[in-house]
Amino acid sequence: MTWEDEKQKYSKMSVDEKRQIYKSYVKLDDIPTWKQFADNKKLLPKIEMLPNCEIDNTKNSTLADKISYFSGDITHLEIDAVVNAANSSLLGGGGVDGAIHRAAGGTLKEECKTLGGCPTGEAKITGGYKLPAKHVIHTVGPQGEKTDLLKNCYKNSLKLMLDNKLRSIAFPCISTGIYGYPNLPAAHVAAYTVRKHLEANAGAVDRVIFCLFMDEDKKIYEGLLQSYFPLN
Ligand code: ADP
């Protein structure tokens, strides 16, 4: 079967049929929003947003319903799209990239081969194959702390989400693993860029999930989301 045929086969399956294939999954409805997560919980101390970042917290007070803080494996999420922190070949690698390719099965690589790679900061979309997620959005993060390029990864992934009328997406902490971007500055870029996108496009989005895998990121995001997505 060609990758095109296999992609079509999966896209036509009912959710129940597909669940026979991927077995372990987390439904969007079972992922609390940031607001629900934080409700009645004693959170770690707030981390302030970057100075002069032009965010007005007297507006957009409902955005805490549009995001989630999720600890765990991105390959389990049964949502519209998961973002892959890929390398520029788009042919698979280590870390989250390896995990996504393993879970999706070999046909994902066949589709990726047709894309001709991807420059740093840009993003490309494929099917999700055996993943619970319907699509994978592959983006290539910068190596080291290059703010504008990391910002572009989030922006371009969110733009693909919008262009393809997808309503739920999950991001890993792009570039903070093998690519060595320091965790806290990377989290500021992620939270800021998602917030700006939601300010402009909240109606088109059900959920943006920050998928946190390392304890350091779990701590950082718990502090930081309180600033970028205030709870009251
Ligand atoms: P990069 O090359 O962009 O740094 P990595 O895959 O090395 O990408 O790391 C990005 C982030 O993804 C790290 O925080 C890493 O711990 C995390 N990660 C690794 N595997 C998974 C997974 N299965 N689900 C979610 N996040 C993961």
Mean local confidence (pLDDT), 192-214? 97
Residue 193 confidence (pLDDT): 98
Specify if 117 maps to a domain: yes
Mean local confidence (pLDDT), 94-109? 98
Specify if 180 maps to a domain: yes
Mean local confidence (pLDDT), 57-85? 94
Q: Which domain holds residue 195?
A: 3-10+23-42+56-228
Specify if 167 maps to a domain: yes
Specify if 80 maps to a domain: yes
Mean local confidence (pLDDT), 182-198? 98
Domain count, the chain: 1
Specify if 51 maps to a domain: no
**pLDDT exceeds 90 at position 61:** no
Q: How confident is the model at residue 57 (pLDDT cuts 50, 70, 90)?
A: confident
Q: What is the rounded average pLDDT for all residues in the chain?
A: 96
Q: Which pairing describes strands 77-78 and 26-27: parallel, antiparallel, or unpaired?
A: parallel
Residue closest by Cα to atom 7 of ligand 1? 177
Half-sphere exposure of 146 (CA within 13 A, CB side): 13
Give the pocket of ligand 1 (CB within 6 Å).
73-75, 85, 95-97, 99, 141, 172-179, 211, 213-214, 217
Secondary structure (3-state) at 134: coil
Distance 135 CA to ligand 1 centre (A): 18
What are the φ/ψ torsions at residue 143 (nearest 5 degrees)?
-95, 115
The CATH number assigned to the domain holding 159 equals 3.40.220.10
Specify if 166 maps to a domain: yes
Mean local confidence (pLDDT), 13-26? 94
Measured between alpha carbons, how far is residue 6 from residues 14, 48, 101, 115, 127 in Å? 15, 47, 15, 17, 9
**pLDDT exceeds 90 at position 4:** yes
Mean local confidence (pLDDT), 179-200? 98
**How many of the other CB atoms lie within 10 Å of CB of 231?**
14
Q: How confident is the model at residue 23 (pLDDT cuts 50, 70, 90)?
A: confident
